[in-house]
Chain A
Amino acid sequence: GQNIDQPTEMTATEGAIVQINCTYQTSGFNGLFWYQQHAGEAPTFLSYNVLDGLEEKGRFSSFLSRSKGYSYLLLKELQMKDSASYLCAVNNYGQNFVFGPGTRLSVLP
């Protein structure tokens, strides 16, 4: 079966660093994607990993270990606007995507 796990909720302080973990078990793997979704809005693409290692994009970085079925999204210098849900999605095969339940991040002043 297909399974993606993420923590349900996380809280962090403005200016801090937060790591959101994602573990997956899927029948195939063509890449792992992270999306940001503000309340009441559509998800927007943040990053993807196909190979093991760290991908950095400004304040956001994403890490992948395919052998461990594990990824994390690292957010640095947190801002209030980073309060949102963060969705982990695995490209299972072809154009088939499996989304995790999402992690709701609250950034406090």
Chain B
Amino acid sequence: GAGVSQSPSNKVTEKGKDVELRCDPISGHTALYWYRQRLGQGLEFLIYFQGNSAPDKSGLPSDRFSAERTGESVSTLTIQRTQQEDSAVYLCASSLALAGIPDTQYFGPGTRLTVL
């Protein structure tokens, strides 16, 4: 595709429910990132996928958060038993991740999650 796409664009859920967020990266981009951005704040790293390597999960805030990626394509971020503090915009980014070259990330439009 022309850019990174994410779905849904908006998600309203009730506390305690599970949600699944989807990201379609730019074709050919081997690296994929998930970030969380609370209102008026900077980006908080969640998880990073690179090719077939084990993902870097160091940013996941709790075991309620998990993510998967199928090969070098679609990724899903799952939040189980959502809490009100999970309310934020969840941004996905992808990049070429070529060795030795600074890596420019291309961001999707984000999913705005509201937990009531």
In the bound assembly, the distance between CA atoms of A47 and B109 in angstroms comes to 20
Contact across chains for B42 and A45 when beta carbons are under 8 A apart? no
- Which residues of chain B have C-beta atoms less than 8 A from A44's C-beta? 107
Taking CB atoms and an 8 Å cut-off, the chain B residues in 77-93 that contact chain A are 91
User: Interface on chain B toward A: helix, strand, loop, or mixed SS?
Assistant: strand
Chain B interface, number of residues (Cβ within 8 angstroms): 24
Give the bracket for the number of chain A residues in contact with chain B.
Answer: 20 to 34
On B, residues with C-beta under 8 Å from A are 4, 31, 33, 35, 41-45, 48, 50, 56, 91, 95, 97, 102-110
On A, residues with C-beta under 8 Å from B are 30-31, 33, 41-45, 48, 50, 87, 89, 91, 95-102
Q: Write the chain A residue with the least CB distance to B104.
A: A45
Contact across chains for A48 and B33 when beta carbons are under 8 A apart? no
Contact across chains for A31 and B102 when beta carbons are under 8 A apart? yes
Residue of B33, B42, B95, B104 near A87 (CB, 8 A) is: B42
